[in-house]
Structure 1
Amino acid sequence: MSERSQSSARLTVDRLHGWYTTAWVLLGLVPSVIGLQNDSGAPKWVALALLTVLAACHTLLRRSPDNRLLRPHGYLALLALGLSAMGGLPGGGAALFIVSLPQFWLFDVGVRASIVLSGVAAAGTVVGTGLRGGESITGNIVFIIIGYAASVLTGLLIHRLVADGDARAGRLGAELEDAQARLAEAHRRQGAADERERMAREIHDTLAQGFASIIVLAEAARSAVACDPERATRQLVSIERTARENFAEARVLVGSAPQSGLAPGSVAVTLRRTLDRFAQDTGLAVEAELPADVECDQQTRIALLRCTQESLANVRKHAAATTVGVVLTRHPHAIELEITDDGRGFVVEDSRGFGLDGMRKRLAELDGELTVTSSLGDGTRVLATIHTNGRL
């Protein structure tokens, strides 16, 4: 059982015990004291003293359950002897015994001890009642025996219900712990899967694109080395620069570098540098509208750069275009990046590439969206929109 359940159970028992104590005083002790008013002599004072001792011991045990002077077993043994003595004294008898019976079950002393101690109290009360005599002696003895039997049956039933409840709570607790463990494992696996997907996206958008560019430049340099050495030299320089950038990105991915290779400054400066490299490497015409006053945070800059790199890589590999257009626009609550080409186009619904999915997921993480419009023979338009929501 959990600590919270145990605390709730203890609170319920304490409230029940509090209500019972009030009933015991009002229905047990007070009537017994009132019944002594018409008596005199030593028996009266012995009975008052005995009732006072029982009340004091009960109060001590209720207020200080962990005290060293009195333990539940000791108190219940004293209660059994006191009830036995009260059976033969004025103010005692069957009524006081019946009202006092729940104490043998409310104090947690075990089923066997509860039965034995309450049995001792019943036997003593019967003997005391018999010694005192009276017109209703037979009825009182029968009442005592029936009350004892009923208390034992009720106590056993309650203990059985409590035991079943504890067992059920234990099973539910075990099931809850198992479910929590499975949930934690599922979260761990999902986190690992998300991290693998993020790493795959980063590798695709950085290292893979860089290596693809190196391959294309190397093939072009090999073809130009004999007929156009100057061009081949420029391409070799581009290969070296791309390889160094890939090396820097690899350090970022493995955690040995603190940030992406993105230099501080306007997003327009970052995109312009990428577009100039693309135009130099491919020879394609690039028309760009990149306002210098468009500011955004680092995550947004990286997302726009990756979308640009992926779109340009697709143009290089698939479009067979001659012109590429790039327009960056700042709206009150969003930033838009539009990349168009006049290439062969494609059927968007048939595209299953990792790059477009990666761009969509990257933008979605920043409350953005990707719109791709294309058809065969009409070029392609890629629109990346990032809702800033107050971010700069």
Structure 2
Amino acid sequence: MRELRAVMGAALLALAAMSWGAGPAVAAEDEIRIGAVWGLTGPTAGVSQEGRRGMEMAQELINRKGVLGKKIRVIFEDDKADPAVGVSATEKLITQDKVVAFVGGVGSTICNAMLGAFEKYNPRPIGVLTGCGATTIEQRFGKERGYFFVHPWEYYYQSTMRDFLLSLTPRPQTVFIAHEDRLYGTSHAKMADEYFKEAGFKVVAREGFKSGAPDLTPLLTRAKGMNPDVFYWIAYGADAILITKQGKELGFNPRLYASTVQLGTQEYRDAVGLDNAEAFVGITVWEPNADFAASREWPDLLPSTRDWVREYTARYKREPHYYSIMSYVALVAAAKGIEAAGSLDREKVVAAIEKINTMSPMGPLKFSPSKFAVNHAFKQMMIFQWQKGQKALLFPRDTATGAVRYPFPPWTPR
């Protein structure tokens, strides 16, 4: 009986895989379905909502002409920043919704779980993915041609932050690294530790915490007691808000507060207030004051940076985050790959996306090899600082729009 149940279970799994493989043929004739798994609630909600807005804008503009005579339909699912929920959402999109590709996403922990779920299906889904930054993912899944990674890998992050710290005068000597305790945070923190030590910085501690925790006072108290020159944390938007508020309550004044991408959202600035955000440093892939020309091939979908920002701001009455434009460009790439392939045949679509080489409002759009992945797009990183409610670009020097405010101004007068 056990053997019979095992055989039946395997047969059902195979049937699910085959039904996905045949999915495009049985999907609604007038639409091409794209799956999008984002942390729309929970600690990654800020950047996830930015990504959703970017994809919704791309979907509307793509559908003015359509793709292969059909409309693109993006089906969004909320992973709640929980990898188990993300896997369930992924499998639902594959087996029930019959999506032909996945686009978007945020968080290496979720991305790693999703790609693990992809492995159960034959053929594997195509992914144009915005949320994968851990080198662990690059090493594990990077050789799969059907996975197109849009987000920079963690070594681009940490080498840029290291070089920025080296550029400061007086140069900081000690760094406390705090990080969320799942794949995203631990992987980035390990690499930051290595890069900083190689550059001559003393890492006084590397400590993990649970993202979304209601109280980080014990962590911040320990950090304050070590009196580091730099407090550097790697986590999500809700964590950035809490660290800022509780750092102020404790009177914790390192010479520099620095973090990663989640620090750059409008939600962060609004939640902590302009005065409290002042002089916090973050890292980004793109900012709205970038200046890239329109695509020669598809200027209607990939206009200049200035025109794209104007359109986004008019629609949503807010400044775009880099996840907004990254998810937008990713969906355009998927749609143009399908269009160039002339069908939904997986191998033809993969080959067509690999041939994309054009300008975009985010910069040159071309998938090329990285250290371990065969198809990777954007690699540039920039350092910004909140100054009077705006993000001033500080580093690299050739992108700078302002000078660093350093050391960090005391909390007391605020």
**Same fold by TM-score greater than 0.5:** no
Q: With the length of structure 2 as denominator, give the TM-score of the two structures.
A: 0.23
Taking CA–CA contacts closer than 8 Å with sequence separation of 6 or more, which of the two structures ends up with the larger relative contact order? 2
Q: With the length of structure 1 as denominator, give the TM-score of the two structures.
A: 0.24
Greater gyration radius: 1
